[in-house]
Chains A and B, each alone.
Chain A
Amino acid sequence: MTRVGKGERSELDILAMLFLLPSFLYVLVMFVYPFAYGIYASLQPLNGEIWSFKNYASFFTDPYQYSTIRTTFALAIPNTILVVLTALFLAYGMRRGIWMERTITTILVLPISLGVIFLSEGILGFYGTNGWLNQILIGANLVREPLELTHNYIGVIFSLFMQQFPFCFLMLLGYISGIDPSLESSARVLGAGPWTVFSRVMLPLITPGLLIAFALVFVMSFAVFPSAVMVGQPAGSTRSIAIAAYQQAFEQYDMSYASAIAVIMGLCQLVALIAIVFLRRRMTIATTVGVGKR
């Protein structure tokens, strides 16, 4: 073990490559091929032209289509902020454990096991115009007209929040409870109140994890489709870019155009991810230089 000859090293390399192979194949089959095929398909419009940007041109000249980008961002960004901040608040509060912790965590995390369709049906049943909430409110004479909480923007935000909160909460809880509790104690003894401990010690240490959570929740939100259809207004205020692609593919049977929309959607997610990664690098340089070496 002490002496690594040339032969041994290359053997090790081959072994390492072999271990890499399954994940490499996975990325190739599940990501690279579909993505490349999508780009290829998007450049072969239905009218028979080969290698043409016509699909992209028509997307960006048609307000009905290009407005979906704004619609999707308008859903994804507020939802991401809401999810990450709520998860941060709760996870920070629970970092040292609380009464009935396991029960509470289970309740918070349960929606993850239900699936989007079931969740959306539940939202319709509870928050819908004739749902329990409105019946209770009307019965108690608190409102006259039922509240419009579904089949609009709010409904989709509800649904997205419930799907993504558990995941983000668990991730941040793990991240925050991993921070050495004596840092907090020492900051307290040095004169920091609870808020100062959060803002000057904990937040800088949580920020890298927070940005990762932000990136992941954003990407998931940006792909919103089932809830935008079921509890949203798929022809109007919640016509997300995924719906536009679906309509081209399965209502207009224009796979090429649909592929172009899917590629645009992917690029939007990529741009947002790059922005976050860039931000994370800048912030971590300022806050955690040297910590990464551990």
Chain B
Amino acid sequence: MTNTIDQLHVSITKRFGSKTVLDKLLLEIRGREFVTFLGPSGCGKSTALNIIAGLLPPSEGEIRLDGQRIDHLPPEKRGFGMVFQNYALFPHLTVFDNIAFGLSLKRRPPAEIRDRVTAMLNLVRLTGYEGRYPSQLSGGQQQRVAIARALVLHPRLMLFDEPLSNLDAKLRVEMRAEIKQLHSKLGLTSIYVTHDQAESLSLSDRIVVLRDGVLMQEGTPREIHDRPKNAFVADFMGFRNFFPVRLGEPVGGFVEGFARGAKLLALLPHDFSGGSDAIMAIRPEDIGVGRSADGANIVRGTVELVEYLGREREAVVATDAHARIWLRTPEQISVGDNVELNLPTERIVVLPVEGNPS
């Protein structure tokens, strides 16, 4: 029921005054793909979305939809759907009229409008609410109306601008699943902007990580999560321990890193391009307490801080070499304990030095 596209080609630069907010962003989005723009606030992800929607002009570059340039088209001529963080429902119109807005602009016959709006209300499970005004709905309901309002026009491309940020944590997870379902059920092509890594991992076919208008990494959720290419992406994906190291000679796919009297063994990515200086990073939850089977990467230290998190504890361990290690563990450890930590070789990523987490 949706107008599908084959490919969206984006290659844009955006400057506000002398400040470059998007620096030669190059993207290819295939039909029926779910792509997330992920990054902290101010990274340019919403700007990119607004340029694709036509709400902002790019400073340079072009946008092509199935080969045809669309960057000169005003937003109303692009046939996209967009969902905003603050819902942006028309407060003076009922739920029905909000959803019917786009259809009535296209002068569809009243019977068709009624059928399509009713079908949409059914799809977003808001049948019976058509006479309400937006202010009489909860946040989640308002966002569902906003989604219905966009979908009823069978958009070629759906754009989501942090649609779940204003909802509470529980509702956010529910709505996330609904969006995912709608996307695959209707065969949509979607671009989704978020600063929430969990959202991007669960929704996307592909994640585009942006920082200060520069594309930091692009890949499947798995690639981004397991093999971040630089310290910025790693930091965003939950790596908390970063050790500056000097690399030894790689042996059989492994490499040793020397740092502050410690020695860490890690898998060297085959495409690693950094020099002999590098950063090794590991997530708190990947660190084990106690000695590992192979006896590699053992670090000793004293527990400095423990936070109880329910199933796990988060702890800070000061190593004998005066480094700090964050870890998460189900083990019962307490402040002052002397512990041995093992950093599993396959869980350590080796990152180039440039692009440190700020």
> A residues within 8 Å of B by Cβ?
180, 182-183, 185-193, 196, 200-201, 204-205, 287-291, 293-294
Contact = CB atoms under 8 A, between A and B. Distances in A.
A138 B135 CA distance: 61
Interface in B265-323: none
Given A290-B136, A291-B92, A190 B105 contact: yes
Contact of B84 (A185, A191, A287): A185
A130 to B, nearest CB: 49
Contact of A189 (B76, B86, B134): B76
Contacts of B55: 185, 188-189
18 contacts: A180-B86, A183-B88, A185-B53, A185-B75, A189-B76, A189-B81, A189-B82, A190-B101, A190-B102, A190-B105, A190-B149, A190-B150, A191-B76, A191-B106, A192-B76, A288-B91, A288-B92, A290-B136
B80 A189 contact: yes
A294 B135 contact: yes
A190 B153 contact: yes
B90 interface: yes
Nearest to B104: A200
B90 A183 contact: yes
Given A192-B76, A193-B76, A182 B105 contact: no
A223 B74 CA distance: 47
A186 B132 CA distance: 20
A182 B76 contact: no
A185 B88 contact: yes
Nearest to B133: A290
Size bin of chain B's contact surface = 20 to 34
Interface of B: 50, 53-55, 74-76, 78, 80-82, 84-86, 88-92, 101-102, 105-106, 132-136, 146, 149-150, 153, 159
Contacts of A186: 82, 84, 88-89, 146, 149
A185 to B, nearest CB: 5
A191 B105 CA distance: 7
Contacts of B150: 189-190
Given A185-B82, A186-B82, A193 B74 contact: yes
B133 A189 contact: no
A216 B84 CA distance: 36
Given A189-B81, A290-B133, A182 B74 contact: no
Contacts of B133: 289-291
B19 to A, nearest CB: 17
Contacts of B134: 290
Contacts of A287: 92
A204 B53 CA distance: 25
Nearest to B135: A290
Counting from the closest, the 6 A-B pairs by CB-CB distance are A290-B133, A190-B102, A182-B88, A186-B88, A188-B75, A189-B82
B139 to A, nearest CB: 14
Nearest to B82: A189
Contacts of B80: 189
